[in-house]
Every structure is written in structure tokens, then in C-alpha cells.
Amino acid sequence: MTASDRAIALTQVAASAADAKQGGDLVALDVSGPLPLTDVFLLVTGRNERQVQAIAGEIEDKLIEAGAKPLRREGRAEGRWVLLDFGDLVVHVFHEEERLFYSLERLWKDCPVVPLTLGEHPVDA
């Protein structure tokens, strides 16, 4: 299976929102094959708790504006690892230390990368 067009479009909206708040190391993974419940994981890094919260807030606002409905959110108060579940798209906004520790890219290394474009430039995976 491959990620739906809607999931890819939402991923691009979320990535642009994260970039607007200086989110780093953006990686989108097509997890539709091994996971029947979602199509894409978007991974983003913030430098500190406040930035993680700001990135998550901006992503959530922009996805709601795009017509997506949040199903679940976790970790926002702590600002270390915020999970935003929009059904087809699950966004993980990590503090740098949590990103390294949990290493989701390693866990999902067999999943294809979804190309992202920020501004007019593609993001290298």
C-alpha cells in the first residue's frame, strides 16, 4: 500500500507549519504498509520544550484550517514528545534528546520516505 493523496497533502501542510516555527530534521515516512491505522508519520525536532509546544500548536492550527480533525493529542504540556493524531497522519514533535533516544527513523527504516517541499526547495531525506 501507499499513503493516500489526502495524507500526503496533510503531511505537506504540517511540514510547512513546522518549518514556519523553525522545526528541524523533518522526515515523513509512509507507514501505510505495516500500519493499517495511519498512512504517514511526520517527525519533527524542536530545540527546547517551548519550541516543541509552539511547533505542535502551529501544526495543529494549520491542519484544522485545512479541514483535518484531530483525533488525539498527547504530551503537549510536557513539551518533550508531542503526538498529534489526525487519522491519516500522525505527527511526532520531539525535543532533540527524545528524538535521539526513541529513534523512530530506525524503527521504521523499511518504510519509504515521503518527499517534502518547504518553500520552493525539496527536503533531503
Round the CA-based radius of gyration of the chain to a whole number and report it. 13
CA angle 26, 39, 16 (to 5 degrees): 35
**In this structure, are residues 87 and 64 in contact, taking their beta carbons and an 8 Å threshold?**
no
**pLDDT tens digit sequence for 24-49:** 999 999 999 898 899 999 999 999 99
What gap in Å lies between CA 65 and CA 1, rounded to an integer? Answer: 28
Q: What is the pLDDT of residue 125?
A: 52
Domains contained in the chain, CATH given: 5-123 (3.30.460.10)
- pLDDT value at 124 more than 80: no
H/E run at residue 51: helix 49-65
Q: What is the pLDDT of residue 122?
A: 62
Q: Name the 3-class secondary structure at 124.
A: coil
What gap in Å lies between CA 121 and CA 111, rounded to an integer? Answer: 23
What gap in Å lies between CA 46 and CA 80, rounded to an integer? Answer: 9
